[in-house]
């Protein structure tokens, strides 16, 4: 699909959604995000060594920005947060999450992952949650994130669907058959590795089939099987956290 068309769908989903539009802070939206908070909390603790003590944080593909509000409220109270998403209709709703988690996000605005209005070398930590597989322009995004990241800073792409080349088409077909409103991609760790060696970022893919939220029984069983047999995680459709570092030259 043409990238402009895809981005238009991403942007307008948030305007038109019955339960996630900025017109109303719906109960369904609240319950859904609170459930996601459990998964985010697990990811934060898993990567706490990287996350703790970081002072300037950027979230990209943040949707309504609930994850940054949660992180600030419970783990990084005194850090400075910048929160972005391609859709201004998504970002508009951040005020609800600020209120709920009793925090103030320092700066938020609509921006594409590969075109941020930020100076070079600004952030200690850049993260996204369940979002990078929507970005499509991975190389452009990683070049831009490297630009705004400080030396020795970290980028975390958390909770991303990943696949080997062998199962890429099947996994992509599957994720797009689920009831989603925007087309989704699946991340190929081998492709990201090539991009990183080209642009000079250190990169590690951590398969993580642990799923605190069981979305349905067959999926729950599938992930508990591949959790027990790590070799399967590399070949079959899986879930990953991607960790990038910008080492000082
Ligand atoms: C599955 S949603 C996840 C949103 C949020 N992280 C959450 O968990 O609620 C993916 C998000 O990526 C955003 N997005 C898609 N393409 C993007 C891009 N190129 N740059 C920034 N955000 C983008 C969408 O608007 C959407 O909010």
Q: Is the CB of 85 under 6 A from ligand 1?
A: yes
Minimum-distance ligand 1 atom for the alpha carbon of 36: 8
Residue 93 Cβ inside 6 Å of ligand 1? The answer reads: no
Q: Which residue has the higher pLDDT, 47 or 180?
A: 47
Q: Is the CB of 59 under 6 A from ligand 1?
A: no
Output the pLDDT for position 132: 98
**Structural domains of the chain in order of their starting residue, each with its CATH number:** 3-160+188-213+240-245 (3.40.50.150)
- How many angstroms does the Cα of residue 79 sit away from the middle of ligand 1? 23
> What are the tokens at 22?
């900025």
Taking CA 12 as the corner, what is the angle to CA 10 and CA 14, rounded to the nearest 5 degrees? 85
Q: What would the pLDDT profile of 214-246 be if each residue is shown by its tens digit?
A: 778 988 899 999 999 999 999 999 999 999 999
Tell me the H-state helices in 149-202.
165-177, 189-199
Contact 70 CB / ligand 1 (< 6 Å): no
Ligand 1: nearest atom to the Cα of 90: 27
Q: What is the pLDDT of residues 35-54, one digit of tens each?
A: 999 999 999 999 999 999 99
Could you tell me the two tokens for 19? Answer: 């339960």
Say if ligand 1 is within 6 A of residue 39 CB.
Answer: no
The finding on whether 138 has its CB within 6 A of some atom of ligand 1 is no
Q: Is 129 in the pocket of ligand 1 (CB under 6 A)?
A: yes
Which of 12, 21, 63 should be mutated for ligand 1, with most atoms under 8 A from CB?
63
State pTM to two decimals. Answer: 0.96
Which of 239, 229, 180 has the alpha carbon at shortest distance from 43? 239
User: Tokens representing 211?
Assistant: 């799923």
Q: How far is the CA of 63 from the centre of ligand 1 (A)?
A: 5
What is the Cα–Cα distance from 117 to 111, expressed in whole angstroms? 8
The CB of 237 under 6 Å from ligand 1? The reply is: no
d(CA 188, CA 175): 14
Tell me the pLDDT tens digit for each residue of 62-104: 999 999 999 999 999 999 999 999 999 999 999 999 999 999 9
Among 93, 106, 100, 105, smallest CA distance to 25 is for: 93
């Amino acid at each position: 699909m043409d990238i402009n068309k895809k981005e238009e769908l991403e942007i307008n989903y948030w305007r038109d959604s019955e339960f996630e539009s900025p017109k109303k802070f719906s109960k369904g939206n609240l319950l859904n995000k609170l459930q996601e908070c459990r998964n985010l909390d697990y990811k934060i603790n898993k990567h706490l060594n990287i996350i703790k003590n970081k002072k300037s944080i950027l979230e990209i593909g943040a949707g309504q920005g609930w994850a940054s509000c949660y992180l600030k409220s419970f783990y990084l109270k005194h850090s400075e947060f910048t929160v972005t998403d391609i859709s201004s209709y998504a970002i508009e709703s951040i005020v609800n999450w600020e209120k709920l988690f009793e925090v103030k996000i320092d700066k938020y605005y609509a921006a594409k992952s590969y075109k941020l209005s930020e100076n070079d070398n600004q952030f200690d930590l850049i993260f996204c949650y369940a979002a990078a597989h929507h970005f499509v322009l991975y190389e452009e995004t990683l070049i831009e994130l490297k630009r705004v990241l400080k030396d020795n800073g970290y980028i975390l792409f958390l909770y991303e669907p990943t696949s080997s080349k062998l199962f890429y088409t099947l996994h992509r077909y599957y994720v797009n058959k689920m009831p989603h409103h925007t087309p989704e991609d699946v991340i190929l760790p081998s492709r990201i590795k090539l991009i990183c060696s080209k642009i000079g970022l250190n990169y590690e893919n951590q398969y993580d089939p642990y799923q605190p939220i069981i979305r349905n029984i067959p999926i729950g069983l599938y992930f508990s099987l591949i959790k027990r047999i790590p070799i399967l995680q590399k070949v079959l459709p899986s879930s990953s956290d991607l960790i990038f570092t910008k080492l000082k030259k």
